[in-house]
Structure 1
């Protein structure tokens, strides 16, 4: 696990230096998907790595402790054991399980004896439109329940108005409320309008001490895209150059197929390097993705695709 990001004092001068060439960013993102061709065993290795970085998630209004227990069982054994045995892999789990605060205790019980962390959304997820004291109280509640990681949402209105100092103050208070739990800052990039805003919000979140920056809640009309992700990764690279601290990245929403997983892994490798291909610095918020990855692995082992109903669901 990477060292925590302690954050910095608010540095508005870093924001003033941000310049984003949107057409160039979009061309680079489109080109990335054609740069590497991963076949056969190499493809399977990259897909298994993607599994280890998935935050297996349930965030539904009808969540129950039984559903969370099933999800945790899938996190413990994300790929059918006979398939893993055939390719000689043991000990594979997902990167984390992510639930609402009221389900944290159930997830902790279901994952007892494993090293799989429990993440909780908080701060009025997904909109974040609650008074700050209530958002901080929700973080503290989740941590008290045993959450190892907290996925917070930023106040989009502050970003859209360019009130970066106020956004920093809110995020710094959230980081303090997280205590020992790692903080993932969800930027809701589909609602920030421009890549310039995405880059500045990324910088502010990292200055405030976010351990990961995350694209989306998964509830916006537009979630993770490659141009947005590329913009965020380059701010991570800039932040490391300025401070020496590594910050993780989590795309969420919009990743549905094994090909999507490979595209984002290639993006991570090309822009940030091998260190960011591990769950300590890379998470994927896309539970439905796991089913397609398992189908691809089944095809590699057996030569045929399994019907979806034959693969265990979370």
Structure 2
């Protein structure tokens, strides 16, 4: 079987990084989200049509290339991180890659995401692969240490080799409507990142309303965020389709006003291949095919890869494999 996974490295090379813009409180004040309308729209995504057979396998392979392979556990060790990096080097079992005829594509995850303490370990383990390391910095997952400590952590992660920084915002600033304070903090974090790309985690499950989610998305983009991300994965409610719609529509509005493309990363609770395909359909329908590339869309995931491998094997053989045959970290 021969499958072609569309890739557009030239588009990534031409992608213009978000320079940041002055805080426009009038714009922020205009933002409103209708939860009922977003929930109705969310119910249609993936329901009107679905991908089957070879097309589904191609989409699943693409999902692997859009994944931030992640370990963010309190019992993480250097050994676990090294095993995760080994999985990143060969994310799909070699026999499945051979059967699909896609070895020449060199499919790997978009990044490996770890705590700051393990950045150097991951950088060494991924040496020569071209897979970037992303660090969750700024007192992940709550972001409630003094700002100077959070900025120092960002700089330390970059110094250790992280090319992407996933920061967390102070949710209380959103709940209190302190848009100036949020803007200034994210702007300072953006500057601390230097050349490393910054993903701002909103903690959407703790922001009370979708209008708050949308306003926080806009403020972070104005402050220079390269990506906006739903969750840490540690909240009671993580990524959802209505929340995602609110965020990607702010991305679309921001693009229409500035010409700058901002990335989107749903994280937390996306563990099934079917869910990944639904989120990919959302991006394609709302923002277009161009957003289905790693420089503009990521999954924050750990167990998702296991189910994708199981679905790929089922597509090839008609049988589901046990989870233990898809070794992770």
Q: TM-score range by the shorter chain?
A: over 0.9
1:243 aligns with 2:258: yes
1:184 aligns with 2:199: yes
The CA RMSD measured in Å over matched residues stands at: 0.8
Deviation at 1:35, TM superposition (A): 2.3
CA contact (8 A) 1:148 1:182 kept: yes
Cα distance in 1 for partners of 2:257, 2:251 equals 10
1:32 aligns with 2:72: no
Deviation at 1:63, TM superposition (A): 1.4
Cα distance in 2 for partners of 1:139, 1:245 equals 24
Cα distance in 2 for partners of 1:155, 1:269 equals 31
Q: Please, what TM-score do these two structures have when normalized by structure 1?
A: 0.99
Aligned partner of residue 295 in structure 2, secondary structure: coil
Aligned partner of residue 59 in structure 1, secondary structure: coil
Alignment of 1:70-149 (within 5 A): 70-90=83-103, 91-149=106-164
Deviates more, 1:153-162 or 1:10-19: 10-19
Deviation at 1:300, TM superposition (A): 1.1
Q: Please, what TM-score do these two structures have when normalized by structure 2?
A: 0.94
Deviation digits for residues 195-222 of structure 1 (CA, Å, limit 9, x no counterpart): 0000000000000000000000000000
Residue of structure 1 in register with 2:31 after alignment: 18
Deviation digits for residues 170-212 of structure 1 (CA, Å, limit 9, x no counterpart): 0000000000100000000000000000000000000000000
Cα distance in 2 for partners of 1:37, 1:58 equals 30
**Which of residues 22, 38, 51 in structure 2 aligns to 1:9?**
22
Cα distance in 1 for partners of 2:291, 2:232 equals 21
Deviation digits for residues 143-193 of structure 1 (CA, Å, limit 9, x no counterpart): 111100000000100000001011000000000000010000000000000
Cα distance in 2 for partners of 1:138, 1:128 equals 11
**Which of residues 289, 297, 309 in structure 1 aligns to 2:312?**
297
Alignment of 1:149-298 (within 5 A): 149-298=164-313
Q: Which runs of 4+ in 1 moved over 3 A?
A: none
Deviation at 1:3, TM superposition (A): 2.5
Deviation at 1:33, TM superposition (A): 2.4
Deviation at 1:115, TM superposition (A): 1.1
Residue of structure 2 in register with 1:50 after alignment: 63
Aligned partner of residue 97 in structure 1, secondary structure: strand
CA contact (8 A) 1:122 1:150 kept: yes
1:63 aligns with 2:44: no
The alignment of Structure 1 onto Structure 2 pairs a total of residues equal to 314
Cα distance in 1 for partners of 2:124, 2:114 equals 13
Deviation digits for residues 95-153 of structure 1 (CA, Å, limit 9, x no counterpart): 10000111000000000001111000011100001011111111011011110000000
Cα distance in 2 for partners of 1:47, 1:310 equals 18
Q: Which runs of 5+ in 2 are unaligned?
A: 1-11
Deviation at 1:17, TM superposition (A): 1.3
Aligned partner of residue 280 in structure 1, secondary structure: coil
Cα distance in 2 for partners of 1:196, 1:301 equals 44
Cα distance in 2 for partners of 1:34, 1:217 equals 28
CA contact (8 A) 1:36 1:266 kept: no
Q: Which runs of 5+ in 1 are unaligned?
A: none
Residue of structure 1 in register with 2:8 after alignment: none
